[in-house]
């Protein structure tokens, strides 16, 4: 009687899960397994916001699997040896998992294939984390797309895989009973942000349904409205695979005016295919611009804590600490501020984001950071975000700032983004830590010198 193991990683759902569907159709008994990876738990990836979301998502997955007759088996240890050992213990012939393209997942997958081969086990990898698999599309003469627009054109025309039906029933191997999940405090020190979204496929489904019913149609007009918060907020669910990106695309595709939203889903795949082809781009410049970064711990701390004296920057950084989430427009503003006003290395900002973001994702985070910093896929190295102008344009009444910066709660309108010195003194709000125009002149001079060289 064939037995298979399905190892869940960041694909925490039963619906449209090609690896689970394949295991259930190939084997009579299936062991759904999640291994808490000691290497990840010991490292910087283990942060309260994301690990808390992960545990909630695992609990939700366990409930879904129990309703199908099984449950989730959770183990902890060195990932490769634990997966292989569990597969051997239950007499499995095959291990199924979703393909992942981060550098760590690729190394871990290679180690699993070696260990499994030595144990006589097959490892079968399935698509499921993206809409179009990394590597499926390539321009003539290249191994990946470096520019978004041609990728988007080819992505729109690419064949889509069909949705994988959830199995009707899953039978565990004899003698296996799913155990309890660990508590967050057993895994990570430090508290979660006070206003994080709940994890899990059930919450993802609720969010997606609400978004399709009321949100996606207006996205084109409203996605940059900072106080309106009119984006889907699906990113943490997509990152942990609580919802399938193909199901999101299918749901959105039925709605009028969904094109701008679909385009954003494509950005996610675009960055995934870059990272798959260029794993070094996780932490090295994709396209070096040659401008040296400064080292200024004082300025970095002011940025982290939302005390730069630029209201929209400070609001965004405080939103990050409070919610483990930041609006996309605000992410661009604070990333530009760190790299082009403070001249600090994009890697320091990317690390800080990954420490707090629930949706923290190496491909989307680090390659967006590079896009803003001018070392990535943006072909315009001169792109600058003026924080005051951006604030007045995308938060004209100052509501976004007031929500997160209580010192400025009495201000209204454009003045919220440009408080004068007397107002700053009166409300205990700091002076700007840098003069934007002087900083940008310096940045442009450094860049110009490099471009002339
Ligand atoms: P929506 O606007 O509703 O978009 C729908 C989905 O499309 C998102 O959930 C996301 O999966 C995808 N998407 C949208 N914009 C982008 C984009 N620019 N790049 C890639 N995918 C996109 N996104 C992450 O998922 N994880 C990160 O760690 C991350 N870090 C970022 C860091 C910086 C400096 C910047 C500028 C952007 C970053 N983004 C990241 C992209 C984007 O900001 C978020 O995906 C978006 O704000 C999430 O909100 P939403 O789900 O409401 O997005």
Confidence of residue 383 (pLDDT cuts 50, 70, 90): confident
**452 has a pLDDT exceeding 60:** no
Which of 196, 197, 328 for a ligand 1 pocket mutation test, highest count of atoms within 8 Å of Cβ? 328
Over range 335-352, report the average pLDDT.
Answer: 97
Residue 163's CB: how many other CB atoms inside 10 A?
15
Asked if 353 and 320 count as a contact pair (C-beta separation under 8 A), the reply is yes
Of all protein residues, the one whose alpha carbon is nearest to atom 50 of ligand 1 is 233
pLDDT of 382: 76
Instruction: Give, for 75, the enclosing helix (H) or strand (E).
Output: strand 73-77
What does pLDDT average to over the chain? 95
Of all protein residues, the one whose alpha carbon is nearest to atom 38 of ligand 1 is 365
pLDDT digits (tens, 9 = 90+) for 275-297: 999 999 999 999 988 888 999 99
**Which residue has better confidence, 451 or 148?**
148
**380 has a pLDDT exceeding 80:** no
Confidence of residue 249 (pLDDT cuts 50, 70, 90): very high
Distance in angstroms (rounded) separating the CA atoms of residues 23 and 93: 11
Q: What angle do CA 226, 229, 232 make, to 5 degrees?
A: 130
Residue 293's CB: how many other CB atoms inside 10 A?
15
Question: Residue with structure tokens 């979660």?
Answer: 192
Distance in angstroms (rounded) separating the CA atoms of residues 276 and 424: 47
Q: Is ligand 1 within 6 A of the CB of residue 238?
A: yes
Q: Is ligand 1 within 6 A of the CB of residue 373?
A: no
Asked if 53 and 199 count as a contact pair (C-beta separation under 8 A), the reply is yes
Contacts of 101 (CB under 8 A, 6+ apart): 129, 134, 272, 273, 275, 276, 363
pLDDT of 451: 57
Of all protein residues, the one whose alpha carbon is nearest to atom 31 of ligand 1 is 365
Over range 6-13, report the average pLDDT.
Answer: 98
Nearest atom within ligand 1 for CA of residue 361: 28
CA-nearest of 82, 76, 87 to 111 is: 82
- How far is ligand 1, taken at its centre, from the CA of residue 235, in Å? 6
pLDDT digits (tens, 9 = 90+) for 181-238: 999 999 998 899 999 999 999 999 999 999 999 999 999 999 999 999 999 999 999 9
Of all protein residues, the one whose alpha carbon is nearest to atom 45 of ligand 1 is 235
Range name among 6-15, 75-84, 255-264, 286-295 with the lowest pLDDT average: 286-295
Of all protein residues, the one whose alpha carbon is nearest to atom 11 of ligand 1 is 235
CA-nearest of 179, 172, 176 to 62 is: 179
Distance of CA 369 to the CA centre of its chain: 12
pLDDT of 450: 65
């Amino acid at each position: 009687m064939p037995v298979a193991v399905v190892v869940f990683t960041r694909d925490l759902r039963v619906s449209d899960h090609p690896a689970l569907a394949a295991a259930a159709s190939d084997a009579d008994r299936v062991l759904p397994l999640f291994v808490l990876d000691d290497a990840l738990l010991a490292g910087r990836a283990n942060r309260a916001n994301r690990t808390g979301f992960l545990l909630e998502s695992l609990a939700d997955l366990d409930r879904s699997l129990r309703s199908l007759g099984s449950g989730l088996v959770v183990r902890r240890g060195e990932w490769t040896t634990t997966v292989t050992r569990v597969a051997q213990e239950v007499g499995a012939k095959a291990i199924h998992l979703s393909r992942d393209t981060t550098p760590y997942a690729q190394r871990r997958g290679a180690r699993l294939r070696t260990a499994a081969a030595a144990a006589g086990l097959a490892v079968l990898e399935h698509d499921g984390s993206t809409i179009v698999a990394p590597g499926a599309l390539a321009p003539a003469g290249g191994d990946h797309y470096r520019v978004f627009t041609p990728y988007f054109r080819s992505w729109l025309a690419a064949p889509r895989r069909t949705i994988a039906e959830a199995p009707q029933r899953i039978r565990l191997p004899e003698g296996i009973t799913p155990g309890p999940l660990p508590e967050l405090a057993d895994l990570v020190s430090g508290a979660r942000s006070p206003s994080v979204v709940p994890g899990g496929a059930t919450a993802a489904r609720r969010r997606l349904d609400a978004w399709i019913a009321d949100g996606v149609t207006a996205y084109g007009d409203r996605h940059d409205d900072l106080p309106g918060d009119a984006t889907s907020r699906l990113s943490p669910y997509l990152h942990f695979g609580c919802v399938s990106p193909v199901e999101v695309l299918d749901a959105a595709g039925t709605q009028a005016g969904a094109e701008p939203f679909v385009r954003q889903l494509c950005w996610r795949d675009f960055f995934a295919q870059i990272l798959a082809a260029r794993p070094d781009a996780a932490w090295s410049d994709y396209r070096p611009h040659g401008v040296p970064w400064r080292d200024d711990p004082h300025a970095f701390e002011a940025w982290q804590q939302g005390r730069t004296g630029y209201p929209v920057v400070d609001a965004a950084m405080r939103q990050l600490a409070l919610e483990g989430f930041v609006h996309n427009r605000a992410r661009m503003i604070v990333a530009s501020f760190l790299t082009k006003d403070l001249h600090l290395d994009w890697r320091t900002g990317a690390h800080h984001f990954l420490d707090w973001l629930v949706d923290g994702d190496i491909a989307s985070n680090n390659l967006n950071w590079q896009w803003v910093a001018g070392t990535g896929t943006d072909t315009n190295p001169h792109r600058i975000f003026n924080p005051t102008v951006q604030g007045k344009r995308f938060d004209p009444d100052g509501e976004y700032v007031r929500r997160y910066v209580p010192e400025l709660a009495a201000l209204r309108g454009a003045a919220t983004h440009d408080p004068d010195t007397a107002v700053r003194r009166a409300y205990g709000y700091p002076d700007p830590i840098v003069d934007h125009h002087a900083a940008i002149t310096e940045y442009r001079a450094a860049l110009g010198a490099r471009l002339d060289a």
